[in-house]
């Protein structure tokens, strides 16, 4: 059964209707559509347009009456393979790929709201998401209320008013705050809001927001989905109704499209994502536990540690703590910088979810655009570092951290 209304027909995914494939098998095989050449690996269709055998066929294609691609801003065979595969992994009816995580975040909300609509969001989030919600959307008369993500009472008060969209980033970047997605989704649905989850930090491997009650999931595929530091991309996943009625009309005409080349990189990345994220998760858990024993460290923020304030909720909704650790040092910025500069294996870089372990100082880089007050609310101080644990052997990462101390 094609999940693509405009005519993409994947290779039959299940050997028979009773045989439900393991997610890892789907990650390798779902969405595959071979050309007449019978190529083994997914083909790269690096083309913007498509031709027609007749004027009538062109007219029919634009009428969505035939299985024919019309333009890569709308759909493209390689992009469709990536979208179909990620939709299967996520358990979503539809997926739409975008050019970056931020275009996914913006489009997922902008397609739903109009002047006078109200958005409620958890306050701790990636700084560009914060700018979209507090500076860009308000320019069009959309109101926004930020709540303390781990406080059920403030959610209940905020969601007693008519609300169009609830936006949750859980875990949050960089301090790994956790929001109870099921609890907030229940409250949001009572006032008719659509719940959108930025699931970047958990990845499709460790958290399934749609099964927790959320309506829409968005990703920066730049992070764990590529996971090898090569391409910028994003994805939005949700129901047929959301994608067909709201997202597609918005995205097809505003054009934050994914490049077919990047989609080709990503469709292959999905094959190994499960193994990569599991390895990163296991290493991060060991490193977080090691960091907790160090006298130089004031606190370690990691959803897989019992010391995390929302550890119980993390256990309920995530199958692992993830690849990223928030680290607060006892000493001032100069010492923290000295520590970063002493690392020999771990790179200084503001990306995350990469095969290379990366460390950053959020207050002076990724989150510098936020005022000191907003930074403080998110737990970002001058003594905080964010460590993204990669695929190097954990023994070398532990040795590197130890020698830098
Ligand atoms: C990186 C990131 C984004 C933005 O993704 P890009 O691909 O860089 O545009 C959005 N949300 C979170 C939580 C992120 O970490």
Q: 2 pLDDT exceeds 70? A: no
Tell me the two tokens of residue 61. 């294609």
Q: Per-residue pLDDT for 4 more than 50?
A: no
Q: Which atom of ligand 1 is nearest to the CA of 201?
A: 13
pLDDT band per the 50, 70, 90 thresholds, residue 65: low
Of residues 368 and 105, more confidence is placed in 105
- Mean pLDDT throughout 288-313? 97
In this predicted structure, the answer to whether residue 6 has a pLDDT above a threshold of 70 is: no
Confidence at residue 35, expressed as pLDDT on a 0 to 100 scale: 84
User: For the chain, what is the total number of helices (H) and then of strands (E)?
Assistant: 16, 12
Which range has the worst mean pLDDT, 201-210, 356-365, 373-382? 373-382
Helices (H), 178-328: 181-190, 203-206, 209-212, 240-241, 248-254, 260-292, 311-317
For a pocket test of ligand 1, which of 100, 128, 198, 236 has the largest count of ligand atoms closer than 8 A to its C-beta? 128
141 Cβ partners below 8 Å, 6+ apart?
115, 116
For ligand 1, the distance from its centroid to the CA atom of residue 101, given in whole angstroms, is 5
Q: Tell me if 69 sits within 8 A of 77, measured CB to CB.
A: yes
Which of ligand 1's atoms lies nearest the C-alpha of 234?
7
Q: Above 90 in pLDDT, residue 357?
A: yes
Q: Does residue 18 surpass a pLDDT of 50?
A: yes
The per-residue pLDDT for 375 is 85
Residue 158, C-beta contacts closer than 8 angstroms, at least 6 positions apart: 120, 145, 147
- Contact residues of ligand 1, CB 6 A cut-off: 100-102, 105, 126, 128-129, 169, 173, 198, 200-201, 220, 222-223, 232, 234
The answer, yes or no, to whether residue 1 has pLDDT greater than 50, is no
Confidence class of residue 38 from pLDDT cuts 50, 70 and 90?
A: confident
Starting at the edge strand found earlier in the chain, the sheet holding 165-169 runs 94-98, 234-238, 216-220, 194-198, 165-169, 118-122, 143-147
Mean pLDDT over 383-400 rounds to: 98
**How many CB atoms neighbour CB 66 within 10 A?**
16
Residue whose Cα lies nearest atom 2 of ligand 1: it is 220
User: Is the pLDDT score of 67 beyond 80?
Assistant: no
Strands (E), 123-230: 143-147, 165-169, 194-198, 216-220
Say yes or no to pLDDT of 8 above 50.
Answer: no
Give pLDDT, residue 369: 81
pLDDT band at 10 (very low <50, low <70, confident <90, very high): low
Cβ neighbours for 188, distance < 8 A, ≥ 6 positions apart: 120, 159, 163, 166, 194, 195
Ligand 1 centroid to Cα of residue 136, in Å, is 17
pLDDT at position 359 is 98
Distance CA 324, CA 353 (A): 8
Predicted confidence at residue 3, as pLDDT, reads 41
For ligand 1, the distance from its centroid to the CA atom of residue 16, given in whole angstroms, is 38
pTM to 2 decimals?
Answer: 0.95
Residue scoring higher pLDDT (339 or 60): 339
Query: Ligand 1 pocket: which of 126, 203, 218 to mutate (most atoms <8 Å of CB)?
Result: 126
> pLDDT per residue over 125-148, tens digit each?
998 999 999 999 999 999 999 999
| Best residue among 220, 265, 365 to mutate for probing ligand 1, ranked by most atoms within 8 Å of CB | 220
Ligand 1 centroid to residue 65 C-alpha, Å: 36
pLDDT at residue 372, rounded to an integer = 85
Determine what percent of the chain is predicted with pLDDT higher than 90. Answer: 84
Predicted pLDDT at 367 = 86
Report the mean per-residue pLDDT for the chain. 93
Determine the pLDDT at residue 227: 97
As a dihedral over the C-alpha atoms of residue 139, residue 142, residue 143, residue 144, rounded to 10 degrees, the angle is -90
Q: Residue 305 to residues 24, 82, 132, 285, 316: CA-CA distances in angstroms?
A: 27, 34, 31, 8, 14
Q: Distance from the CA of 220 to the center of ligand 1, in angstroms? A: 5
Whether residue 383 has pLDDT greater than 60: yes
Task: Enter the tokens of residue 45.
Answer: 């269709």
Q: How far is the CA of 126 from the centre of ligand 1 (A)?
A: 7
214 has a pLDDT exceeding 60: yes
Ligand 1 centre to CA of 64 (Å) is 33
């Amino acid at each position: 059964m094609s999940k693509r209304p405009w005519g993409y027909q994947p290779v039959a995914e299940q050997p028979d209707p009773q045989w439900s494939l393991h997610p890892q098998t789907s990650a390798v095989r779902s969405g595959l559509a071979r050309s007449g050449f019978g190529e083994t690996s997914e083909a790269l269709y690096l083309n913007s347009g498509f031709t027609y055998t007749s004027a009538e066929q062109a007219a029919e294609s634009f009428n969505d009456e035939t299985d024919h691609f019309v333009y890569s801003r709308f759909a493209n065979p390689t992009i469709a393979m990536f979208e179909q595969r990620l939709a299967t992994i996520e358990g979503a009816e539809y997926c739409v790929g975008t050019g970056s995580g931020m275009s996914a975040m913006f489009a997922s909300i902008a397609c739903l709201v109009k002047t006078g609509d109200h958005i409620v969001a958890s306050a701790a989030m990636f700084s560009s998401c914060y700018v979209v919600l507090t500076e860009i959307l308000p320019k069009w008369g959309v109101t926004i209320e930020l709540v303390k993500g781990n406080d059920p009472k403030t959610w209940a008060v905020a969601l007693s008013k008519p609300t169009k969209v609830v936006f949750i980033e859980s875990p949050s970047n960089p301090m790994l705050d956790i929001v109870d997605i099921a609890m907030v989704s229940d409250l949001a649905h009572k006032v008719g809001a659509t719940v959108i989850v930025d699931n970047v930090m958990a990845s499709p491997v460790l958290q399934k927001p749609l099964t927790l009650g959320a309506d829409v999931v968005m990703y920066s595929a730049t992070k764990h989905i590529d996971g090898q530091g090569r391409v910028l991309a994003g994805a939005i996943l949700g129901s047929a109704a959301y994608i067909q009625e709201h997202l597609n009309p918005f995205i097809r005409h505003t054009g934050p499209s994914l490049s077919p080349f990047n989609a080709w990189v990503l469709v292959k990345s999905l094959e190994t994502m499960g193994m990569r994220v599991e390895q990163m998760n296991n290493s991060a858990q060991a490193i977080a536990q090691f960091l907790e024993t160090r006298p130089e460290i004031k606190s370690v923020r990691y959803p897989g540690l019992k010391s995390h304030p929302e550890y119980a909720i993390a256990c309920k909704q995530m199958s692992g703590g993830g690849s990223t650790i928030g680290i607060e040092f006892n000493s001032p910025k100069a010492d923290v910088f000295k520590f970063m500069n002493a690392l020999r294996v771990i790179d200084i870089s503001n990306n995350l979810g990469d095969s290379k372990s990366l460390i950053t100082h959020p207050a002076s880089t990724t989150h510098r655009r936020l005022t000191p007050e907003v930074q403080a609310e998110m737990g970002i101080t001058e003594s905080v570092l964010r460590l993204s644990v990669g695929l190097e052997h954990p023994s070398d990462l532990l040795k590197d951290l130890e020698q830098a101390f």
